[in-house]
């Protein structure tokens, strides 16, 4: 079952849909979507339906799944034709994302829903570290402040630490000369979003 989940359509000369991961991908996609919906429904109990939909879509999108597959080194285990391999198939995001869904289905068919959900939660939780970025707190804060032309927002990088591959940034946001929020993140953009969110909380807008 795992071998089937790792087999690209180009690997089989007969190109039969019964000998590659495509049918498994179809099933795994549904399991992944349901698992993500259930996870975020309970974890983010204060978020409205529209925002939960965006967060789920971000967690199960091709980019997130492909990044997870790349971190796991799944590409090197794929069965595909030499031509597909030479064309970069092992690193193609669309293929990697499809294979993750196929593996989820393989786990489900072999062991049932609970093991499948347990595996599916790994990429979901990995993508969930970017949940804050789904809501654009900077834009929301700017829209509120710009109603008064005399008010000015300014983001200042207050500190950065850690090695190059795992930097941590601290950003402060000022309303005119007043510090109204501080945020941290592994990128300046995420730190700015966190600072804007804190400012909104202080204003009683973001809970």
List active site positions: 29, 101
The DSSP result for the chain, as a single string, is -HHHHTB-GGG-TT--GGGSTHHHHHHHHHHHHHHHHHHHHHHTTTS-HHHHHHHHHHHSSHHHHHHHHHHHTGGGG-B--HHHHHTTGGG-HHHHHHHHHHHHHHHHHHH-HHHHHHHHHHHHHHHHTTHHHHS-HHHHHHHHHTTSTT--EEEEEEEEES-GGG-EEEEEEEETTEEEEEEEESSHHHHHHHHHHHHHHHTTS--
């Amino acid at each position: 079952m795992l071998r089937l989940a790792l087999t690209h359509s180009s690997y089989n000369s007969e190109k039969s849909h019964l000998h590659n991961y495509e049918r498994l991908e179809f099933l795994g996609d549904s399991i992944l979507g349901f698992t993500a919906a259930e996870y975020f429904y309970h974890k983010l109990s204060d978020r409205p339906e529209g925002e939960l939909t965006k967060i789920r879509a971000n967690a199960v999108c091709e980019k997130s799944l492909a990044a997870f597959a790349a971190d796991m080194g799944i590409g090197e285990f794929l069965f595909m034709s030499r031509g597909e391999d030479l064309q970069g198939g092992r690193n193609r995001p669309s293929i990697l994302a499809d294979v993750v869904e196929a593996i989820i289905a393989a786990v489900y068919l072999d062991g049932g829903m609970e093991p499948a959900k347990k595996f599916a939660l790994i990429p979901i939780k990995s993508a969930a570290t970017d949940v804050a970025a789904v809501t654009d707190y900077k834009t929301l804060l700017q829209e509120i402040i710009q109603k008064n032309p005399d008010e000015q927002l300014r983001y200042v990088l207050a500190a950065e630490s850690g090695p190059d591959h795992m930097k941590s940034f601290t950003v402060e946001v000022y309303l005119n000369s007043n510090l109204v929020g501080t945020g941290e993140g592994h990128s300046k953009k995420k730190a700015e979003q966190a600072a804007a969110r804190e400012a909104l909380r202080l204003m009683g807008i973001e809970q």
